[in-house]
Amino acid sequence: MTNYNIVDDVFPESVLDKIDKFWRQASLKVGQREMFLDLESPPMLMVQPTITNLISDFEADVYLKSHLKKFNSNASFRHLERFYINVGLKNNKYQGHSDIDKSDLKEEEFYIVALIFLNPKCNGDSGIFIDKDYIEDKYNRLIVFNGFDWHKVVPPKDNFVRLTLYCNFSNRKNSSGPKTRNFINSKTNKFMQTNTYGREQDEK
């Protein structure tokens, strides 16, 4: 049986306001492909917050810790490994994947994913499958699940983008603390500013 928790309204308005400000100056980057060896699949678009963004702006350590503990009593924010923001666009193609093979974890080891939907203009036409269960994209919704469970992104069908903050937490012995994906290219801010909420961002 697939195990996951859904928490709506995980961040308070004060944090959501700071996240909104973050988007207005975020840089869009081209990241890895979903399947590393599948050269026909397009690379994913991402934004890389700093650890300062994650803690001071998003206050993720404050608002995620109790949900991590509820999912796995041994998990805490200090087990943070990777964190980044995925940007899903209309007509993106996803095959589905697991972040780690369960066989790679020892008996007491865990690999937990915390995924938060962050586009306030989403209209419910995107989301994620975890195994056979579909979970709709809803602004400020947190999903906590095991990274070894198969999951597949459902991209939007219109010009609104799917924004998700991804964080993984693990107590693997071969893990060496917070890490990020290696990016293979960079782009300007213009695309992000135009398409984040499906409309041109106001100048500030």
pTM here is 0.80
pLDDT given at position 171? 94
Q: Which domains does the chain have, with CATH numbers?
A: 4-100+108-195 (2.60.120.620)
Q: pLDDT of 12-59, one tens digit each?
A: 999 999 988 887 788 877 766 665 555 666 667 788 899 999 999 999
**CA 101 to each of CA 106, 125, 146, 174: distance values in angstroms, whole numbers, following the listed order:** 11, 29, 11, 14
Residue range 58-76, pLDDT digits in tens: 999 999 999 999 999 999 9
Residue 147 has pLDDT above 70, yes or no: yes
Q: What percent of the chain has pLDDT over 90?
A: 50
